[in-house]
Amino acid sequence: MKLRSHGRYPYSGIANRPASAWPGGAKLAVYVALNLEQYAFGEGLVEDLVPPLGQPDVMNFSWRDWGNRVGAWRLRDMFRGLGLAPSLLINTVLYDHAPDLITAFREIGAPIVAHGRSNAEAQAGLAQAAETALIWEARDAIAANEGKPPAGWLGPWISETEHTPDLLQEAGFQYVLDWAMDDQPVWLRTRAGQLLSVPYPQELNDANAVVLRQTTGADFADMIVAQFDEMMEHGGDQALVLGIALHAHVSGQPFRLRALRQALRHVAAQRDKVWLTDTDRIAAAWGAPEG
């Protein structure tokens, strides 16, 4: 039986790969990705805390909106206190909706990663022309506001079409975060070259762990510590990536933030043994495309 394949990368068992290391000889690169998202009021795709009763859904919309108005600012202060700069994954409508929020993270050294235009939409099912327009509009908005185009992309809802890696590579993106199949970066084949896939977590992700699986903030913090300790102790000889994905409306809540801060302090306390970094620098350090 021959299964349908994406054709983007071949199988490779991690135990069979050659030894490698990150800058400074570190075996583990650790980054935090903070998603700053903006949703439409009364229409489009949504992430809900409770089942909606119809539109306009004031309860769920205002819960999400709290993230940009309050939660993200508390997270910014936490990152600044820890001496960490997250990869900032932004919906580009925030340049119009909350430009001072992006400025606040830019000031602590957070690189800007494209996260589409808005999380009220997704790429799945789009025609190539429409998806190209979405990608280029997001890229150009960041270039206009940051003085350079973004290196990385995470699709809204991590939603792709058959052509997404091709379109990202052709738009000049260096890496994508959509694919979660490895603990190392992996080169993806595209129709015009290669595009780097940088590992992005689906398990160590507060939206999935807390909102979908309904774990507690303390549970999520324990997950971070356990993941970090295990990868430190039993990671092997390869250069690995540990990503932590946060959303302002989830982890910015004070009762979750307190446990999260303790978990990240545990990680930061060993910064002499690991590479505390961001996704832009991980992609730059991985080297040239294969072949």
Q: Residue 83 falls within a domain, yes or no?
A: yes
Residue 81: which domain range? 20-40+57-286
CA separation (Å) from 264 to 9, 30, 75, 92, 135? 33, 10, 12, 27, 32
- For residue 265, the domain's CATH number is 3.20.20.370
| Rounded (5°) CA angle 201-150-169 | 80
Nearest to 161 by CA among 134, 192, 196, 198: 134
| Rounded (5°) CA angle 186-188-193 | 130
Q: How far apart are CA 214 and CA 220, in angstroms?
A: 10
Q: Residue 49 falls within a domain, yes or no?
A: no
Q: How far apart are CA 239 and CA 22, in angstroms?
A: 6
Q: Which residues contact 242 (CB under 8 A, 6 or more apart)?
A: 28, 29, 30, 31, 183, 204, 227, 228, 231
Q: What is the pLDDT of residue 158?
A: 97
Longest dimension (CA), the chain: 55
Split into its structural domains, the chain has a count of 1
Q: Residue 12 falls within a domain, yes or no?
A: no
Per-residue tens of pLDDT for the chain, all 291 residues: 999 999 999 999 999 999 999 999 999 999 999 999 999 999 999 988 888 888 999 999 999 999 999 999 999 999 999 999 999 999 999 999 999 999 999 999 999 999 999 999 999 999 999 999 999 999 999 999 999 999 999 999 999 999 999 999 999 999 999 999 999 999 999 999 999 999 999 999 999 999 989 999 999 999 999 999 999 999 999 999 999 999 999 999 999 999 999 999 999 999 999 999 999 999 999 987 876
Q: Which residues contact 129 (CB under 8 A, 6 or more apart)?
A: none
> In sequence order, what DSSP letters do the residues of the chain get, joined into one string?
-------S-----GGGSPP---GGG-SEEEEEEEEE----SSSS----SS---SSS-HHHHHHHHHIIIIIHHHHHHHHHHHT---EEEE-TTHHHH-HHHHHHHHTTTPPEEE--S-TT---TT--HHHHHHHHHHHHHHHHHHHSS--SEE--GGG---TTHHHHHHHTT--EE----S-SS-EEEEETTEEEEEPP--SSSBHIIIIIIS---HHHHHHHHHHHHHHHHHH-TTS-EEEEEEEEHHHHTSHHHHHHHHHHHHHHHTTTTTSEE--HHHHHHHH-SPP-
Q: What is the pLDDT of residue 291?
A: 63
User: Are the CB atoms for 150 and 112 separated by under 8 Å?
Assistant: yes
Q: How far apart are CA 185 and CA 289, in angstroms?
A: 11
Q: Residue 14 falls within a domain, yes or no?
A: no
Q: How far apart are CA 85 and CA 111, in angstroms?
A: 8
Q: How far apart are CA 10 and CA 187, in angstroms?
A: 10
| Rounded (5°) CA angle 222-158-169 | 120
Q: What is the pLDDT of residue 288?
A: 78
Q: What is the pLDDT of residue 62?
A: 97
